[in-house]
Structure 1
Amino acid sequence: MNETVRVAIYARVSTEEQAEFGYSIDAQLETLRKYCELYNRVIVGEYVDRGVSGKSIEGRYELQQLLRDAQENKFDLVLVWKFNRMARKNIDLLHIVELLQKNNVAFRSFSEDFDTTTSMGKFALQMMGAVGELERNTIVDNVKMGHKQRARTGKHNGKVPLGYRSVKIDARGRESKIVIIEEEAALVRNIFEQYAAGHGLKAIANDLNHRGHKTKSGNPFSTCSIRDIIDNPMFVGKIRYNRYENWAERRRKGKTSELILVDGHHPAIITDEVWEKVQLLRKKKATMPKKRFEGEYLLTGLIRCPECGAAMTASLTVNRAKDGTKIVRMYYSCGRFRSQGSSVCHANSVRKDEAEKAVTERIQEAVTKPEILKKVVRSVNEHRSGRIKPLQDELAGVQVRIDNLEEKKRKYLGLYEMDEIDRDLFAGRLNDLNKELDTELTRRSKLQLELRDDQADPISYELVRSLVSRFDALLQRSPFPQRKTLLHLIVKRITLDDRKRVGNIELAFNEETEKHFLSVAPSAEQQAEGAFPLSGKAPLLKKTLTIFI
């Protein structure tokens, strides 16, 4: 008498398969029930995962329960309508079958009828699993290809961010367009304008949450959600796609070099000018030192240690007065000393308030005392003219070396044509000469560019006065976050003398800082509190201007 075979039925269908291919859980179950009835097998359990993808075991709770019940010997056979109902990936399928076999449970597919307890059955399972995985990967690749093509033609994929919604424009719902939700768009503009005005991610999120605003998904704003908004080029009318591959498995480690960034068909919410300004600030703030202590430290990372030249960072001391009150003193101290100890450098601390006062007063003096600024301008122009002769001499030397190398190449070519030199020796020597020549040609191009800049018209006093005076005006009129942003944008370094007093302040003005911060402020001036307030137009810079005051 044959023993009764206890059967566990497993069925699964994803939402996409149900919609696109008409797969049905009920149809799978009905087919498998009739199969068991035909072969006199007893169904002891039905495990059904509805609307779940088969790409992994995670989230498939019925499958997880089935595997636990297999360990408790509740059935002898697991039956599925098709083997890819159990798993889409071959490695997952084989792993599940192995777990079942360890517990003396057989696995059988109704559509691909083979016995996994035999060697040929296992081989057939592996082959069918590989085919199934290939089929899935082909579908995934086709979908990705379609998404990439949509992106290249300026169409958006996936969910739309805050400020937009997708509207169907045909009866079948296959075509849609992106339109602006004006109430949300106003919030997006405010976020960009606040950041352009110098406010940080946390301050913006805090402000929005206090005003009761929510993200697109209905959650409070966070620094991450603010960052995602100001980094998203969709708001300036662009489509960005393919930054990451296999996000579900690899997350940010899957970053690709094949980024798609094109003009989109959707309307922009912010202007190019505001976008460029925000991206400039994002890039600069990424290199600014992180805050270590409470307090408004303006010059962190700008002041240089007089002993080792490292950036000086915020530090403080806390003492008790005789009456028990706490006395807090703030300093800038050598960053290498703080991180590596006294064997590398010393604290070389300077009082915070004294250093900041000295810097701001030095900038104001350059504006209020024309003789100081004229001296600065004269020094800049003398430095530029003094560089010309050494550069010309170096360029002449480079040209001599280039001519010599070219002559050597001609000689070796003549010897080779006369069959007076071995071919391999000729090829090796020619390769060495070409490498040397490339180096010298690159050096010549660099020197020619430097000479062209230094031989340009002298820097005018009016240009320098305009830039420095506007910089000073902004420092005086802006609150702390904006002042710190401005200083880190324009001040390259501050050196101390041997008595630990402020020595030179190196300022570097360029086209971007002039355009975004020393010229007319964008719409943020009216929209965001604390925006860089300026009127009029500053002279346009064509290259970086560095001065010492």
Structure 2
Amino acid sequence: MLEPLEKPSIVAIYVRVSTEEQALHGYSIDAQLDTLREYCKLYNKEIYDEYVDRGISGKSTEKRYELQRMLKDAQMGLFNEVLVWKINRLARNTYDLLGITQMLSKHSVAFTSFSERFDTGSAMGKFALQMMGAVGELERNTIVDNVKMGLSKRAKTGKHNGKVPLGYKTVEVPGERGRNRDSRVEIVPEEVVIVTKIFERFAAGQGFKSIANQLNHEGYGTKSGNAFSICGVKEILDNPFYVGKIRYNRFEQWSEKRRKGRNPKPIIENGLHPPIISEELWNKVQYLRQKKAVVSLKRFDGEFLLTWLIRCPKCGGPMVANRIQNRQKDGSKITRLYYSCSNFRNKGSKVCSANSIRKQEAEQYVVKRVKEVLAQPQILKAVVSNINERKAKRTKPLQQELDSITARIAQLEEKRQRYFELYEIDQLDRELFSKRLDDINAELDRLHAKKSELTFELQDDNPEPVSYEVVRTLLKKFDELLDSSPFEQRKTLMHLVIKKITIKDTRTVDKIEMNFDENTVQHFLAADPSATHAEGSFALRMRRALAGQKIWFAI
């Protein structure tokens, strides 16, 4: 009996290096690629493609467009093995590593590490993989702890970490042989005026919105040139940097918890920088901040489905719930519900106007418009035609930008090679050669990152035309769920499916921009009250139709 032929090994090579790793440890993308290519050549493995993330940290999968592209290709069955130089090139935390390898295994794609060779298909191999992932995570956490220790030491000696706030600037201090080894903080006089106004006005009894509105009317801006907001004013009033203090470790685990990770005991030490605000004024402001900390929550009658979806016709900002009480002739009060511009409510009349639109009219229009489109096939066919025309037009400029970046990368690679040749024949001194090479490598990292992003975007934007039946079925399902679901599900559905709602100057709805993808379809199925089982019949039909597509259109 003939043995079945062994399936040929088609390999996807994945390499990654962060900027810090290349600088500190000499890790090189080219060295990794050369090693893995030789390995494939030695074992007669066919290389399908090389996926390269340059200058990107491995702490998460975010912004790693080449990794995301590789995973999509794996799901499509374009190769049957992923090859990396070391396991920590794929992920530096155990959760991501196991999630990626599990997904690869689900699609019958083997995972191989050149440096740590073991069979991930066996129980011992899986255990070894978990241990190596844990070691990689421990290594990264140790580096993070060491960096935090160094930053904490700086803070405790009165030195700043990171960017300085409005009112200050950093000036580099030359060290040995002209190298910049440290920096000092100096006052910016024109910005000091703004900071002083904020503290003095709050101490005089003005509120956050009033201060922001007045500063914007006077033509002042934040350090980045934006208009002042309530949050911006609060941040300045709460920052002890202005009274000559250094505050460090205000938030812990920022990348995971954001502002929820507030540290109750941050490091606060006397700083080496000059203060802008006196102790007396600072203490007065902090006392008032504590007094005003407890604010009664506004209660809004009714349920607002479209908050942050409707866009202001004047500034384009999101519109939020607003309640206005009017007194009748008989002395009674009547409450009217609106959507109003969030920039006006947050930053004042200098930035925008209320541009309110009645809540009931806006929400009724959205539902009515969907029903109209479903009831008139000629309108929906025109919508589908517009979708396909937009998809065709979108691809061309992205491809042109990608071609331009690819050509620039080739020029820089050639230029880098010429510098190597000049250096080898002693036509360039070492210091000049090193500087030129660093500049070229920095630009190459930036261009490769952009190239990966564009490639992923082009791949994600499937050029295949969308069928009329697909869009009609999606809109029908959307309409059915709006009629049958409770409020919380309807609001979630609105924010999942509707990208934005624009309104005219006449304060009536102009158009509704909608967005459907595979995740949207899954959400429909989960929320469908008529489904008799986990996925329902809709799943089998629509998953094939939407495979690899994202549908965006306006009605």
> Could you tell me whether the CA contact under 8 Å between 1:318 and 1:328 is conserved in 2?
yes
CA contact (8 A) 1:163 1:182 kept: yes
Q: Is the 8 A contact 1:12 1:85 kept in 2?
A: yes
Q: Which string of whole-angstrom CA distances, capped at 9 and with x for unpartnered residues, describes residues 203-247 of structure 1?
A: 111122223322222322111111001100001000111222101
The 1-side partners of 2:39 and 2:333 are apart by 84
- Name the CA distance, whole Å, in 2 between partners of 1:141 and 1:40: 43
Structure 1 residues 285 and 92: alpha-carbon distance in aligned structure 2, compared to 1, 3 A threshold: same
Q: Give the aligned partner of residue 149 of structure 2.
A: 145
Deviations 1:303-354 (A, max 9, x none): xxxxxxxxxxxx9872227xxxxx6889xxxxxxxxxxxxxxxxxxxxxxxx
Rg (Cα) greater in structure: 1
**Equivalent residue for 2:58, pick from 54, 59, 75:** 54
1:78 to 65, 68, 82: 82
Corresponding residue number in structure 1 for 2:215:
208
Tell me which residue corresponds to 2:183: 176
Match of 1:118 among 110, 122, 126: 122
Counterpart of 2:329? Answer: 320
* Residue identity opposite 2:101 in structure 1: V
1:87 pairs with 51, 73, 91, which one?
91
State the SS of the aligned residue for 1:250.
Answer: helix
Equivalent of 2:234 in 216, 227, 235: 227
**Aligned residues of 1:243 and 1:259 also touching (Cα < 8 A):** yes
Separation in structure 1 between the aligned mates of residue 198 and residue 135 of structure 2, nearest angstrom: 50
When residues 92 and 200 of structure 1 are mapped into structure 2, their CA distance, relative to the original with a 3 A threshold, is same
Taking a change above 3 Å as real, the CA distance of residues 198 and 292 of structure 1, as seen in their structure-2 partners, is farther
1:275-318 per-residue CA deviation (whole Å, 9 max, x = no partner) reads: 1111111111123556899xxxxxxxxxxxxxxxxxxxxx9872
Query: Structure 1 residues 212, 292: closer, same or farther in 2, change over 3 A?
Result: farther
* 1:14/1:50 contact within 8 Å kept: yes
The separation in 1 between residues aligned to 2:325 and 2:14, in whole angstroms, is: 66
Q: Give the length in aligned residue pairs.
A: 304
Aligned residue for 1:264? 271
Structure 1 residues 195-344: aligned runs within 5 Å: 195-287=202-294, 289=296, 318-320=327-329
Distance in 2 (CA, whole Å) between partners of 1:195 and 1:133 is 46
- Say which of 97, 100, 110 aligns to 2:101: 97
For 1:287 and 1:9, locate their aligned partners in 2 and report how far apart those are by CA, in whole Å.
56
What is aligned with 1:108? 112
Alignment partners' CA distance in 1, 2:50 and 2:225: 38
Instruction: Tell me which residue corresponds to 1:133.
Output: 137
The AA in structure 2 aligned to 1:20 is L
Q: Which amino acid aligns with 1:183?
A: E
Structure 1 residue identity aligned to 2:52: V
Q: Which amino acid aligns with 2:205?
A: G
| Alignment CA distance shift 1:289-1:150 (3 Å) | same
Which letter maps to 1:168? E
Q: 2:367 is matched with which residue?
A: none
Q: Distance in 2 between matches of 1:137 and 1:289?
A: 42
> Pairwise mapping of residues 13-24 of structure 1 onto structure 2 (< 5 A)?
13-24=17-28
SS at 2:97 equivalent = helix
- Give the distance between the partners of 2:200 and 2:105, measured in 1 at CA: 63
**2:73 paired residue number:** 69
**Could you tell me how far 1:116 is from its partner in structure 2?**
1.5
Give the alignment partner of residue 165 of structure 1, picking from 169, 178, 190. Answer: 169
Show the 5 A alignment for 1:410-429. Answer: none
Change (3 A) 1:74 1:273: same
Query: What is the CA-CA distance between 1:3 and the residue it aligns to?
Result: 4.1
Gaps of 5+ in 2: 301-323, 335-555
Which amino acid in structure 1 is aligned with residue 159 of structure 2?
Answer: K
Q: Give the match's secondary structure for 1:43.
A: strand
- Which amino acid in structure 2 is aligned with residue 236 of structure 1? V
Task: Give distance in 1, aligned partners of 2:97 and 2:299.
Answer: 51
- Report what 1:432 is aligned to: none
User: Is 1:9 the equivalent of 2:13?
Assistant: yes
Equivalent position of 2:408 in the other structure? none
Q: Using the alignment, how far apart are the partners of 2:79 and 2:112 within structure 1?
A: 13
Could you tell me which residue of structure 2 aligns to residue 350 of structure 1?
none
What residue identity is the alignment partner of 1:126?
A: Q
Q: Under a length normalisation based on structure 1, what TM-score does the superposition of the two structures give?
A: 0.52
1:306 alignment partner in structure 2: none
CA distance in 2, matches of 1:3, 1:329: 78
> C-alpha distance in 2, partners of 1:11/1:226?
44
Residues 464-502 of structure 1 show CA distances to partners (whole Å, capped at 9, x for unaligned) of xxxxxxxxxxxxxxxxxxxxxxxxxxxxxxxxxxxxxxx
Equivalent-residue separation in structure 2 for 1:136 and 1:16 (angstroms): 12
Distance 1:193 1:31 in 2: 64
Deviations 1:90-117 (A, max 9, x none): 1211111111011110111112122222
Amino acid corresponding to residue 70 of structure 2 in structure 1? L
Work out the CA distance in 2 between the residues paired with 1:150 and 1:174: 14
Distance (Å, rounded) in 2 between the aligned partners of 1:28 and 1:102: 27
3-state SS, counterpart of residue 320 of structure 1: coil
Change (3 A) 1:245 1:42: same
Amino acid at match of 2:327: V
Counterpart-to-counterpart distance in 1, 2:131 and 2:296: 56
Determine the C-alpha separation between the residues in 2 that align with 1:55 and 1:29.
21
Residue 25 of structure 1 and its aligned partner are, at CA, apart by 2.0
Cα drift, residue 168 of structure 1:
1.6
After alignment, is 250-259 or 34-43 more displaced? 250-259
Over 3 Å counting, the alpha-carbon distance change for 1:287 and 1:3 in structure 2 is closer
Instruction: Give yes or no for contact 1:10–1:63 (8 Å, CA) kept in 2.
Output: yes
Q: Distance in 2 between matches of 1:117 and 1:173?
A: 52
CA contact (8 A) 1:70 1:103 kept: yes
Amino acid of the structure 2 residue aligned with 1:197: A
Shift of 1:85: 0.8
Distance, in Å, in 1 between the alignment partners of 2:225 and 2:195 is 15
2: CA distance between counterparts of 1:195 and 1:19? Answer: 47
Give the RMSD, CA atoms, in angstroms: 2.4
Q: Are the aligned partners of 1:14 and 1:53 in contact in 2 as well (CA < 8 Å)?
A: yes
Whether the aligned pair in 2 keeps the contact of 1:316 and 1:328 (CA below 8 Å) is no
Distance in 2 between residues matched to 1:155 and 1:284, nearest whole Å:
32
Task: Supply the distance in 1 between the matched residues of 2:156 and 2:22 (Cα, whole angstroms).
Answer: 30
1:132: how far off? 1.0
Q: CA deviation at 1:154?
A: 1.0
Number of the residue aligned with 1:190: 197
Task: Tell me the amino acid that sits aligned with residue 228 of structure 1.
Answer: E
SS of 1:174's partner is strand
- Tell me, in whole angstroms, the C-alpha distance in 1 between the residues paired with 2:32 and 2:221: 43
Counterparts of 1:24 and 1:85 in 2: how far apart (Å)?
12
- Equivalent in the alignment of 1:439: none
Identity %: 61
Summarize the Cα distance change of 1:120–1:254 in structure 2 as closer, same or farther, 3 Å threshold: same
User: Kindly tell me: are residues 7 and 291 of structure 1, through their superposed partners in 2, closer, same or farther at Cα, counting changes over 3 Å?
Assistant: closer
